[in-house]
Structure 1
């Protein structure tokens, strides 16, 4: 039987970051990443839109994303001169109606107090900065001046995973189908092929499978898949200004952003409209009925557009409060969670991985205090809501 000091279940951005930062921060024990899909095609990270923003309402979320921004800014020093994730620092523009403006202003104050660099725009200021935008029905918007944009999630994940493997981390292809528990300790996992692996600490970084993995240990974790569609469309009439524009989020949640010579768009559905079949098929009626009319009304240049491709991704959705769950189980102390980011796991994965490394090595956080994100709130069913879920 193989034995590792740390077994990380899930090799996406969070699991890869946990392994990377354990090594970077000086952990000398043995580490294994167990990942069922080593093509990296179907995990949360590989199908992410790759956004990075500080426009959150929770200070911890802002700090997590700022950690990720620092990594992107220092990418070549961290991973070598060839490291590149194609960061497009074009900002986020989150729009609000009259009813939503007080929340946007409140969020902006929290963001500025916690190190974000953005600005509130009203009326003519909004129209002048973004002349392609119809401001009818808008009270204003919050625009990220620096540190916000998007990048290639596959490349970022790969940089951390490869760096961790280069420092001795073992990558094991396999699906965990069993978790062995002795009282208040996890002793190991069993893979689908029957292989057993023992561990000193287990990190649940299993993405959409996090809830199922926890259940194997007799622990309730309200994290599972939520299906999201991303549509790629061509707009022949698009101006250079529009191509250089931000990721724009309308008051009803419809978002779009430039993607090379094209654009991508999507929307997070209301709870009652959530897809119930978690396959990889795309529902084009959502684009036709829900997205296109809204896009064309806000950006008249989008009246003549054509979908040229699309993809489906799955969020690792925390049904309690849509915020990440990070920290050790209060009773099963060698089980550490890094789950449930509900769509912002890519941008917060590096910081979450670093936090996991600190818990394993020091038993406490040293960089960002994430105690409010611990499992205790899950057990007590006391949500910590994020107001800027996209």
Structure 2
């Protein structure tokens, strides 16, 4: 567990980042990497990070999105992960890779099959190696599936699969601190807004610090943080359940991350274990502190779904399980990124709806660019701006898990 001081060393900072998990730490690291020489304070509620979305992630990356922008974001993420030591310019940083077992989307109706075809065209135009597979072609590669009712599959095995998000997060945080970013253990409980600016933030300890800019990187608590500035953002905590399990009769090859039409997904996890996940049903907003498991969800829905799709998995044993939270954007399940149009020194880095870990390298870079230059410098991420919320115009992404 990281040990952070509880009192800020200064009374004024150029940038205050609310939330020190992977998005906040990516932003802090990128600010230093891109040459920002101002003062930076990261305020983190829990330095153990045991309850944050970063700690409960399934740590996967994919290029099978429907929008070019989300594809480009993940492509940079893959490049960053595979060249982590080069990007971070530190020999202590480990070399990482991606376990490319791929994502396999299964369509059980003509409408979703048409969506997979349209998505593949966008993905291929971006350089992804997505393939469309007939049921016979799926069966030839993965004979363990029961494909009854399946009409089409979509898979990509380049830069698509599992990666060690925990390592990347650790080094974002560690190197940011080594380069002078200050982390404190605490909770932002209030903000002072004067017209179109946030002038200072108040911590639960009673400390007040003035700020040049504030970044809302508080994950599922994004709306709580925004409310302190008198603002709204349509992001709420929604539960996502994960199970690690072993099989009495394991498969003879890696299991792709299979997105079943039922809403359950499952994949290889280790040499002898597998992972499954699904949302709650119904899927309401929950309290940010609610991490209770629904054990009936496994027994009544997840296990029967897996055993139906893979008959060989008729005897499974749960190894471990957990509930995590998506920072769910109720408008369009896409990021909200950049300043509020009326409070321009309050910036959103929120609403990733399950895509956050894989998007963290690109999103942290984009936020740092905006903080330094007032504009995005590499990828143009303006479609994720807050303005679309005011207009109620979703930026649609059809490939949401």
CA distance in 2, matches of 1:333, 1:211: 17
Deviating 4+ runs (over 6 angstroms): none
Q: How large is the Cα RMSD of the aligned pairs?
A: 1.5
Equivalent residue for 1:117? 129
Deviations 1:309-355 (A, max 9, x none): 10110111111111110111111111111100011111101111100
Instruction: Tell me the SS of whatever aligns to 2:55.
Output: coil
The 1:85–1:206 alpha-carbon spacing in structure 2 relative to 1, beyond 3 Å, is farther
CA contact (8 A) 2:135 2:153 kept: no
CA distance in 2, matches of 1:250, 1:383: 26
Choose the corresponding residue for 2:388, options 366, 372, 377: 377
Equivalent residue for 1:96? 107
How far has the Cα of 1:144 moved from its partner? 1.1
The 1:148–1:276 alpha-carbon spacing in structure 2 relative to 1, beyond 3 Å, is same
Q: Does 1:253 align with 2:253?
A: no
Counterparts in 2 of 1:154-173, with a 5 A limit?
154-173=166-185
Instruction: Tell me the SS of whatever aligns to 2:145.
Output: coil
How far has the Cα of 1:275 moved from its partner? 6.7
Deviations 1:167-221 (A, max 9, x none): 1100111000001111101112101111111110111111011111000110011
CA distance in 1, matches of 2:166, 2:75: 20
Deviations 1:355-388 (A, max 9, x none): 0011111111111111110000111221122111
The 1:229–1:85 alpha-carbon spacing in structure 2 relative to 1, beyond 3 Å, is farther
The 1:155–1:170 alpha-carbon spacing in structure 2 relative to 1, beyond 3 Å, is same
CA contact (8 A) 1:84 1:155 kept: no
How far has the Cα of 1:257 moved from its partner? 0.9
The 1:372–1:275 alpha-carbon spacing in structure 2 relative to 1, beyond 3 Å, is closer
Instruction: Tell me the SS of whatever aligns to 1:267.
Output: strand
CA contact (8 A) 1:2 1:197 kept: yes
Choose the corresponding residue for 1:134, options 146, 151, 157: 146
CA distance in 1, matches of 2:260, 2:140: 18
Tell me, which stretches of 5 or more residues in structure 1 are unaligned? none
The 1:180–1:268 alpha-carbon spacing in structure 2 relative to 1, beyond 3 Å, is same
Instruction: Count residues with an aligned counterpart.
Output: 387
Choose the corresponding residue for 1:194, options 206, 212, 215: 206
Q: Does 1:335 align with 2:335?
A: no
Tell me, which stretches of 5 or more residues in structure 2 are unaligned? 1-9
Q: Does 1:23 align with 2:32?
A: yes
CA distance in 2, matches of 1:219, 1:365: 23
Equivalent residue for 2:7? none
CA distance in 1, matches of 2:187, 2:395: 31
Equivalent residue for 1:353? 364
Instruction: Tell me the SS of whatever aligns to 1:46.
Output: helix
CA distance in 1, matches of 2:396, 2:262: 18
CA contact (8 A) 1:246 1:258 kept: yes
Deviations 1:233-273 (A, max 9, x none): 110211231xx221111122210011112111011346x44
Choose the corresponding residue for 1:293, options 294, 301, 304: 304
CA distance in 1, matches of 2:302, 2:24: 33
Equivalent residue for 1:144? 156
How far has the Cα of 1:3 moved from its partner? 1.0
CA distance in 2, matches of 1:389, 1:176: 31
Choose the corresponding residue for 1:66, options 75, 80, 87: 75
Instruction: Tell me the SS of whatever aligns to 1:49.
Output: coil
Q: Does 1:212 align with 2:224?
A: yes
Q: Does 1:10 align with 2:19?
A: yes
CA distance in 2, matches of 1:132, 1:349: 35
Equivalent residue for 1:180? 192
CA contact (8 A) 2:306 2:313 kept: yes
Choose the corresponding residue for 1:305, options 307, 310, 316: 316
Equivalent residue for 1:40? 49
Query: Structure 2-normalised TM-score?
Result: 0.93
Query: Structure 1-normalised TM-score?
Result: 0.96
CA contact (8 A) 1:91 1:143 kept: yes
CA contact (8 A) 2:19 2:216 kept: yes
CA distance in 2, matches of 1:112, 1:92: 15
